[in-house]
Amino acid sequence: MSNQIQPKLIIHGGAGSSLKGKGGLDAVRQALHEIVAEVYQLLLEGKSATEAVIKGCQLLEDNPRFNAGTGSVLQSDGQIRMSASLMDGEKQRFSGVINVSRVKNPINLAQTLQNQEDRVLSDYGSLELLRELKYSIYDPLTDLRLHEWIEERKENFTRKMAGVVAESSENARRGTIGVVALDTQGRISAGTSTGGKGLERIGRVSDSAMPAGNYANFQAGVSCTGIGEDIIDECLAAKVVIRATDGLSLAEAMEKSIKEASVNKRDLGAIALDCHGKIVWGKTSEVLLAAYHNGKNIGDCLEWDDDKLINISE
């Protein structure tokens, strides 16, 4: 046991505008903390970082409070198209699916693709993979999302996006999801999944199935959330990981990258951890729905001081 590392874990359920209403705050906190507790137990039992990330993403996808899997937002034509990716840091191997429909857990498809020659599939390829795997057809639509889309349609889709994060207790159901884990063997993996930003042009691709939004290697792992185009423009996840690999501390890498994003007026957030067990998160958005286990206890950043761009769990 002496050569084993203390596992670490951080997850997120989105980023965006301010989270108002104690009911919403408490419900989101409870959901995130319960998932952290369940996934961290797997790490304590010796499961790999990749196994933990997949389980965490599944749990977040299955919670209709978050915009991934069940509860995904509808695109402009009223259809749900989800994207997800998995990055195994030890193998430095990326896999993902883009704009897939009718599946319960898009992260499972990304997992399957880890060991294939062609590792990132778009909508048609993802559908063929679903058929090959004989997965049950699943409708991730919720009544709330349908109502939301109908209301937007009445107003001719005047709102810029379907919102990334909860605004109140009765509407606390938004956000891309992500998980980054460090296991007892020192391996790091990252996973990210999303239903998109909502009401977007058909065929739009998010950052969640790109290294811009989800990246890991032997040194660090990062999962991003927020406006996908902003994350892509910054190539945020890969940038933070590469800077940490090139010699900056994880905190320095995150701070430098988030400061650049802030100067460029991006709307985003990111969670990260490194091989030394440091847990760091950063944001330019008002809120980042993240929770973590630092080896001692569970914490979160739901009531984080807005003046600070990054934070660290010791």
| Catalytic residue list | 176
d(CA 45, CA 177): 24
Paired residues of 225 in beta bridges: 269
Three-state secondary structure along 270-287?
EEEEECCCCEEEEECCCE
Pairing of strands 188-194, 177-182: antiparallel
| Per-residue CA distances from 113 to 62, 88, 134, 218, 238 (Å) | 21, 12, 15, 20, 20
d(CA 67, CA 163): 10
d(CA 279, CA 208): 20
| Per-residue CA distances from 297 to 6, 40, 66, 234, 268 (Å) | 12, 10, 24, 32, 26
d(CA 310, CA 314): 13
- Pure H helices in the chain: 22-44, 49-62, 106-113, 123-133, 143-154, 228-234, 236-245, 250-263
The upper half-sphere exposure of residue 4, i.e. CA atoms within 13 Å in the direction of its Cβ, equals 13
d(CA 77, CA 48): 39
Asked if residue 72 lies in contact with residue 177, where contact means CB atoms within 8 angstroms, the answer is no
